[in-house]
Structure 1
Amino acid sequence: MADISPNYALHCRTIDGNGRHLSPEDVSYAWRNQLFHQNRPSTDPLQITALGCDPSGRMIEMVAYDAGAYQDRHGHPLRVLYHANQATTKFLHEFGLA
């Protein structure tokens, strides 16, 4: 099971990238209110996939990577969220939900 660290950062593409579909606030809310999460096998750096809801109740798919040596003062690893979008059927399949 993935370690869902409270220590996270939004990658610039989730804040102002051309592919941005959600507000940074909605992405942060969804990350903090996850329903499901798991590690993607055989990824380097480690990727964590997660499903959460934004304040409107929309299901949001998210992918973060483990920033390795970066930790907060409590030892939580830094996760960098680089993908967030409304959940797709393909993403839901990763969790066995579609």
Structure 2
Amino acid sequence: MTDVFAALASPARRELLRLLRDEGAQPVRRLADRFAMARPSVSEHLKVLKRAGLVTERRNGRERLYSLETAPLVEVRDWLTPYERFWRERLTGLRDILNKIEDE
């Protein structure tokens, strides 16, 4: 899961995942058109995502199509869930304290 977190640390890679989620499989050429960086840089980001298991690659003629792979994201969600509950409880407690102070 370390590779997944490292891959998700980059805003560019998170945007690539969003594009693949929202628009489906795409060639690197189309993905690169959405960024202010060279195609080889986008390809490097896709390699990182592929190594982390977040994208898959398949050939379609001369193009390589990249698709989102959600299984590693489910693992991340499962890992984060207890922390989400922790913070939700803390924020609810803070809200209750602030409401109590406001009522006084």
TM-score, normalisation: structure 2: 0.26
TM-score (norm. length: structure 1): 0.26
**Which protein has the larger Cα radius of gyration, Structure 1 or Structure 2?**
2
Write 1 or 2 for the structure with the bigger share of helix: 2
